[in-house]
Amino acid sequence: MTFPGFCCFAKSSRPIMALSFSYVTPSQLINLRRSAKVAIVDVRDEERSYDAHIAGSHHYASGSFSERIPNLVGAVQGNDIVVFHCALSQVRGPACAQTFVDYLSQMNEDPGIKEVMVLERGFNGWQASGRLVCNCTDVPCKSESA
Ligand SMILES: [Zn+2]
């Protein structure tokens, strides 16, 4: 049985992007970073300037996230996994992750990102569990990922 009207789908080798994101714990994230190319995206707003951040993370504040999403896609292209977080990853982190997933699913070109995740308990949870943080003022942070 054939569906001539859908032939264009058959030609595409692009895997169908899952229209959702999953959660990852700090220890899972550390393991992931050993085996895959992982970009960490901090979507906290002004807190980033007076709080520390995860070493090697990008910063795309939730307040201007939608406008800057094309820049973000360019910045994280070449990574397998993009992990979002805010302070607690309860509101801004998941919202930005969903916006990002929606944006990827509407793109004509495949940026190669296989998975979108949210860091459970956010930056505060990361710091509270004793993980390394960085205090530099570079965006994106150029520190070696810990
Ligand atoms: Zn830094």
> In whole numbers, what is the pLDDT of the chain averaged over residues?
89
Half-sphere exposure at residue 27, Cβ-oriented, CA atoms within 13 angstroms: 1
Query: What's the confidence (pLDDT) of residue 145?
Result: 59
Query: What's the confidence (pLDDT) of residue 110?
Result: 85
pTM for the structure as a whole:
0.86
Query: What's the confidence (pLDDT) of residue 31?
Result: 95
Q: Rounded to the nearest whole angstrom, what is the distance from the C-alpha of residue 134 to the centroid of ligand 1?
A: 4
Position 110: which residue type?
D
List 7, 86, 134, 136, catalytic entry: 86
Position 45: which residue type?
D
Q: What whole-number distance in Å separates Cα of residue 106 and Cα of residue 93?
A: 20
pLDDT band at 14 (very low <50, low <70, confident <90, very high): low
Alpha helices in the chain (DSSP H): 7-11, 26-35, 47-50, 65-76, 92-106, 122-128
- Check if 96 is active-site: no
Q: Is pLDDT of 32 > 80? A: yes
pLDDT band at 6 (very low <50, low <70, confident <90, very high): very low
Q: Rounded to the nearest whole angstrom, what is the distance from the C-alpha of residue 135 to the centroid of ligand 1?
A: 5
Span 83-123, pLDDT tens digits: 999 999 999 999 999 999 999 999 988 889 999 999 999 99
pLDDT band at 16 (very low <50, low <70, confident <90, very high): low
Span 116-131, pLDDT tens digits: 999 999 999 999 999 9
Neighbours of ion ligand 1 (CB under 5 A): 134, 136, 141, 143
Q: Rounded to the nearest whole angstrom, what is the distance from the C-alpha of residue 86 to the centroid of ligand 1?
A: 15
Q: Rounded to the nearest whole angstrom, what is the distance from the C-alpha of residue 145 to the centroid of ligand 1?
A: 9
Q: Rounded to the nearest whole angstrom, what is the distance from the C-alpha of residue 59 to the centroid of ligand 1?
A: 10
Rg of the chain taking only CA atoms, in angstroms: 16
| Closest alpha carbon to 53 in 128, 134, 121 | 134
Do residues 89 and 43 make contact, with C-beta atoms less than 8 angstroms apart? no
